[in-house]
């Protein structure tokens, strides 16, 4: 985690199949937002979006990176991963659509709700993918000066 007066940012490496580390990025972001006095509802939206994004790399991709940046204007989260990519983004965005294998479903994942949930909780949402290369996800949740209390 790095910070200057108006920006706090963090970067996490994510590995496909590394369930043990799941949640590290979203919990750090949550802690940062709470320490900034961001309202609980916004903290919750950002945490859910970050967590689902993190899980998607762990479940579906080979490896990736989650980067977050918090300024008085917004919470920005971007997630980039390597392979396999998403063939049909419209289909992937549908509630209940999942290609998660049985062993992942047995762990309680794979309901096909992650991407719709991220979109619902974000103010701006951008998902791009190239099959065989990877996927990029960009999420913004807007803030105002009133809900960014840290003026130190
Ligand atoms: N980073 C990714 N790389 C490759 N495919 C992805 C990625 N993220 C999502 N997908 C594809 O989009 C589908 C829908 O994703 P979504 O997050 O909505 O559901 P899920 O991850 O399958 O289940 P849940 O999120 O409810 O645990 C996935 O099943 C997968 O096929
Ligand atoms: Mg998911």
Place of tokens 């990029």: 136
User: What is the reported pLDDT for 4?
Assistant: 62
User: What is the reported pLDDT for 5?
Assistant: 64
pTM of the shown model: 0.94
Annotate 44-72 with DSSP letters as a single string: HHHHHHHHHHHHHHHHH-SEEEEEEEE-S
Cβ atoms of residues 104 and 41 within 8 Å: no
Neighbours of 20 (CB within 10 A): 9
Q: Does any ligand 1 atom lie closer than 6 A to the CB of residue 54? A: no
DSSP label at residue 106: H
| 58's tokens | 């762990």
Cβ atoms of residues 66 and 78 within 8 Å: yes
User: What is the reported pLDDT for 146?
Assistant: 77
Q: How far apart are CA 116 and CA 107, in angstroms?
A: 20
Neighbours of 22 (CB within 10 A): 17
Q: Does any ligand 1 atom lie closer than 6 A to the CB of residue 80? A: no
Q: Does any ligand 1 atom lie closer than 6 A to the CB of residue 86? A: yes
User: What is the reported pLDDT for 149?
Assistant: 65
Cβ atoms of residues 60 and 110 within 8 Å: no
* Å from CA of 20 to ligand 2 middle: 16
Q: Is 77 exposed, middle or buried (0-12, 13-18, 19+ CB in 10 A)?
A: buried
pLDDT tens-place values along the chain, 152 residues long: 776 668 999 999 999 999 999 999 999 999 999 999 999 999 999 999 999 999 999 999 999 999 999 999 999 999 999 989 999 999 999 999 999 999 999 999 999 999 999 999 999 999 999 999 999 999 999 998 777 765 44
* Å from CA of 9 to ligand 1 middle: 25
Best mutation site among 14, 65, 88, 98 for ligand 1 pocket (most ligand atoms within 8 Å of CB) = 98
* Å from CA of 82 to ligand 1 middle: 14
Domains along the chain with CATH numbers:
8-147 (3.30.565.10)
């Amino acid at each position: 985690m790095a910070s200057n007066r108006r920006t706090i940012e963090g970067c996490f490496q994510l590995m496909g199949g590394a369930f043990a580390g799941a949640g590290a990025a979203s919990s750090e972001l949550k802690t940062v937002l709470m320490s900034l006095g961001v309202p609980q509802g916004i903290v919750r939206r950002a945490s859910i979006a970050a967590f689902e994004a993190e899980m998607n790399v762990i479940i579906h991709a080979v490896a990736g990176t989650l980067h977050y940046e918090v300024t008085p204007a917004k919470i920005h989260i971007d997630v980039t991963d390597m392979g396999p990519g998403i063939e049909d983004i419209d289909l992937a965005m549908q509630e209940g659509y999942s290609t998660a294998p049985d062993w992942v479903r047995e762990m309680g994942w794979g309901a096909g709700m992650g991407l719709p949930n991220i979109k619902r909780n974000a103010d701006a949402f951008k998902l791009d993918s190239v099959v065989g290369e990877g996927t990029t996800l960009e999420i913004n949740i807007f803030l105002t000066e009133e809900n960014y209390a840290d003026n130190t």
